[in-house]
């Protein structure tokens, strides 16, 4: 294997000069730079990336911290991040925090020691200062950490307005809102959109907290439907929760969409697989992941970023869990 010594010998310069030039860690004369470049090309010298990490304290590894890899929203997001990162020569390390702060912290600490180039954080467990002190490029995805950290998210409030109106336009008179976890910004924005819209009407509604998990959502929806059989619309803050609500309706023998209409939020592939297919507020998951990767790489490479806050538009996807619009 060709070593840095071979390159130095061929170029007629010192090993230190080759290292300074290749790692951009100090001044090298134009002549030396040209000689090293020629020697590298001729010898097909490949800079050892671990050695390079040590010298420059940088790598081409990006850490992507996800809260729950078994929620289909996150694999779809991960795939987009990975596609874009790969096209720029970065490798993505996926970290599944399982919504546990210790796991999230362990990943950050472990990967910082590997001289990771930056993080995309879609999880939600640690306090903002923990990230602010990381001294690394960070991008927040589907959450906000603080105003200094670039954030990519859907227009969640707008989406919730769309979803609520979809139920109102289709004649719902008593709507159950499955509100996502209080500590999640996207969930709170969706709640705001729902409240703002519903309060302009005289339609009955109730709000219950509901984690983004299928079984919990099924149980919570089932209880609410038993408590109030006149509920004729459910707006769930995630597709997984909507799947739980649909399952609850099926177990209680409530016909969807005739007696109960359901709208989800996410737009993951799961929604198509359900029967009836799920009407949902679709996020542009791929675009969110792709922007996050691009912004992080710009930060890593010290390029300007145009904006600090990217809000990706959402759209309503009508499938079988809602009826035709009431005239």
For residue 157, the surrounding DSSP H or E stretch is helix 156-169
54 binds a second copy (CB under 8 A): yes
CB-CB contact of 140 with 121 (8 Å): yes
3-state secondary structure of 102: helix
Residues 198-217 touching a second copy, rule: CB under 8 A, are 214-215
Residue 267, Ramachandran bin (φ over 0: left; ψ between -120 and 50: alpha; else beta): left
- Residue 293: name the closest of 144, 108, 121, 75 by CA: 121
Residues 96-155 touching a second copy, rule: CB under 8 A, are 96, 98, 103, 106-107, 110-111, 113-115
The contacts of residue 309 (CB under 8 Å, 6+ apart) are 150, 151
Q: Which two tokens stand for residue 235?
A: 């707006």
Helix axes 15-22, 4-11, angle to 10 degrees: 110
Looking up tokens 């008593």, which residue turns up? 174
Piece of the chain touching a second copy by CB under 8 A; list 11-19, 143-151, 191-199, 267-275: 267-275
253 DSSP assignment:
T
260 binds a second copy (CB under 8 A): no
Q: How far is the CB of 300 from a second copy (least distance, A)?
A: 16
Q: Which two tokens stand for residue 123?
A: 């999880």
Instruction: Determine which residue in the list 72, 163, 180, 257 makes contact with a second copy, applying CB under 8 A.
Output: 72
78 binds a second copy (CB under 8 A): yes
Instruction: Determine which residue in the list 51, 132, 208, 325 makes contact with a second copy, applying CB under 8 A.
Output: 51
Nearer to a second copy, 46 or 306 (CB): 46
Q: How far is the CB of 115 from a second copy (least distance, A)?
A: 6
Question: What does the alpha-carbon distance between residue 97 and residue 290 come to, in Å, rounded to a whole number?
Answer: 21
Q: Site for a second copy (CB under 8 A): how many residues?
A: 50
Q: Which two tokens stand for residue 203?
A: 């339609």
Piece of the chain touching a second copy by CB under 8 A; list 85-93, 128-136, 141-149, 200-208: 85-93
Handedness of CA 281, 286, 290, 293 (dihedral sign): positive
Q: How far is the CB of 32 from a second copy (least distance, A)?
A: 25
Nearer to a second copy, 59 or 124 (CB): 59
Residues 277-296 touching a second copy, rule: CB under 8 A, are 277
CB-CB contact of 212 with 181 (8 Å): yes
Residues 11-50 touching a second copy, rule: CB under 8 A, are 48-50
Nearer to a second copy, 12 or 276 (CB): 276
Instruction: Determine which residue in the list 65, 274, 293, 296 makes contact with a second copy, applying CB under 8 A.
Output: 274
Residues near a second copy, by CB under 8 A? 48-51, 53-54, 59-61, 69-70, 72, 74-76, 78-79, 82, 86, 91-96, 98, 103, 106-107, 110-111, 113-115, 214-215, 240, 243-244, 246-247, 250, 269-270, 272-277
């Amino acid at each position: 294997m060709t070593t840095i010594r071979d390159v130095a010998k061929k170029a007629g310069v010192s090993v230190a000069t080759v290292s300074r030039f290749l790692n951009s860690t100090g001044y090298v004369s134009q002549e030396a730079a040209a000689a090293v470049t020629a020697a590298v090309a001729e010898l097909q010298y490949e800079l050892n990336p671990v050695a390079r990490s040590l010298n420059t304290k940088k790598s081409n590894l990006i850490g992507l911290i996800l809260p729950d890899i078994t929620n289909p929203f996150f694999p779809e997001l991960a795939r987009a991040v990975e596609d874009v990162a790969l096209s720029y020569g970065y490798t993505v390390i996926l970290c599944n925090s399982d919504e546990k702060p210790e796991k999230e912290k362990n990943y950050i600490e472990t990967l910082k020691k590997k001289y990771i180039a930056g993080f995309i954080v879609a999880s939600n467990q640690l306090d903002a200062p923990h990230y602010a002190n990381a001294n690394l490029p960070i991008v927040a995805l589907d959450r906000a950490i603080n105003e200094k950290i670039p954030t990519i998210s859907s227009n969640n409030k707008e989406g919730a307005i769309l979803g609520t109106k979809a139920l109102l336009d289709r004649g719902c008179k008593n709507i159950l809102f499955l509100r996502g976890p209080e500590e999640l910004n996207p969930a709170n924005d969706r709640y705001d959109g729902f409240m703002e819209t519903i309060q302009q009407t005289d339609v009955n509604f109730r709000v219950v907290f509901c984690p983004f998990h299928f079984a919990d959502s099924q149980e919570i929806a089932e209880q609410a439907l038993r408590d109030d059989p006149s509920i004729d619309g459910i707006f769930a803050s995630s597709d997984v929760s909507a799947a739980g609500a649909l399952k609850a309706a099926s177990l209680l023998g409530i016909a969807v969409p005739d007696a109960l209409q359901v709208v989800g939020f996410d737009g993951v592939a799961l929604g198509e697989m359900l029967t009836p297919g799920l009407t949902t507020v679709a996020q542009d998951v791929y675009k969110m992941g792709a922007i996050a990767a691009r912004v992080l790489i710009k930060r890593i490479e010290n390029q300007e970023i145009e904006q600090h806050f990217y809000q990706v538009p959402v759209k309503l996807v009508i499938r079988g869990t809602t009826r035709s619009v009431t005239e």
